Amino acid sequence: MQIGICVIWLGIPGTFSLKEKRQVCLSLFSHLRKNFNISMVEIGQQNSYRKSVIAVVTVNTEKAHLYSTLSKVVEFIKKDCRLNIENYTTEVL
């Protein structure tokens, strides 16, 4: 069993409060859970309403499938006009 982890630094330019940021993040998390078999959590920038750091985690027996899934997640987020990906890292344990 292998674990794939992707940490994504997001910019959320259209928000003006933590409540708006939370709505955007919860919507993103809902869409990601619906489309991919992954878990995610906000791990940084909780007190900033224009930035967020999220961790996406998935488990599989094949390393190639992990990289493929995490790559699709990043591409999905890139298509969301509410968000800007500032940076991301992918690691398989």
How much is the pLDDT for 35?
93
How much is the pLDDT for 37?
85
| pLDDT tens column, 34-66 | 999 899 999 998 899 999 999 999 999 999 999
How much is the pLDDT for 64?
93
The total number of structural domains in the chain stands at 1
- Give me the domain span that covers residue 82: 2-92
Residue 66, domain CATH: 3.30.70.1120
33, two tokens: 């859970």
| pLDDT tens column, 1-20 | 899 999 999 999 989 999 99
Q: Is the dihedral of CA 41, 46, 48, 53 positive or negative?
A: negative
Query: Which pTM does this prediction carry?
Result: 0.91
Residues 6+ apart with CB under 8 A from 29: 40
Q: Measured between alpha carbons, how far is 50 from 29 in angstroms, rounded to an integer?
A: 17
How much is the pLDDT for 43?
95
Do 74 and 8 form a contact (C-beta atoms < 8 A)? yes
